[in-house]
Structures are given as C-alpha cells and as structure tokens.
Amino acid sequence: MSRTYRVTGMTCGGCVRAVTKAIERRQPGVEVTIDLATGLVEVAGAPADAEIRAAVETAGFEFRGVA
C-alpha cells in the first residue's frame, strides 16, 4: 500500500533528503519517493497520515495533505 502526499517548500536535493530521512525516522520500514518538481511524496509501506504530517512539519516543510 502506498499513499501520496503534497508537500511544499522543497527547493533542492537537500530538502528531498531531509524530508525522506524525517519520514523514515518517524515511520521505520516505509519507502519514500519524492518528485521535487511536483512536490509529490509517495510513501510505500503502511504510512499513517498523521505521522507523515508530523515528520514533514518537523523537518520545516508544509504538509498539504493527501494528493
């Protein structure tokens, strides 16, 4: 199962890595794929929306919900 979220504020590969790490730390076992151009964050595994939101916001980016 995977879910895709919309995240704004990512501007470079460093942002992508920061969001990826933040999500993986918060939800061990998930796999994160981010498209920087569209701001779409796909999380495979069993992502919990509230946890993904917390991870994204803690990393300093804006969580815009499920895409």
Residues that bind Cu ion (CB under 5 A): 11-12, 14-15
C-alpha to C-alpha distance for 55 and 17, rounded to whole angstroms = 13
Q: Strand pairing of 31-35 and 40-44?
A: antiparallel
Q: Which is nearer to Cu ion, 15 or 55 (CB)?
A: 15
User: Least distance from C-beta 20 to Cu ion, angstroms?
Assistant: 12
C-alpha to C-alpha distance for 20 and 23, rounded to whole angstroms = 5
Q: In sequence order, which residues have a C-beta less than 8 Å from that of residue 13 and are 6 or more positions away?
A: 36
User: Least distance from C-beta 64 to Cu ion, angstroms?
Assistant: 17
Q: Which is nearer to Cu ion, 15 or 52 (CB)?
A: 15
User: Least distance from C-beta 12 to Cu ion, angstroms?
Assistant: 3
Q: Which is nearer to Cu ion, 34 or 52 (CB)?
A: 34
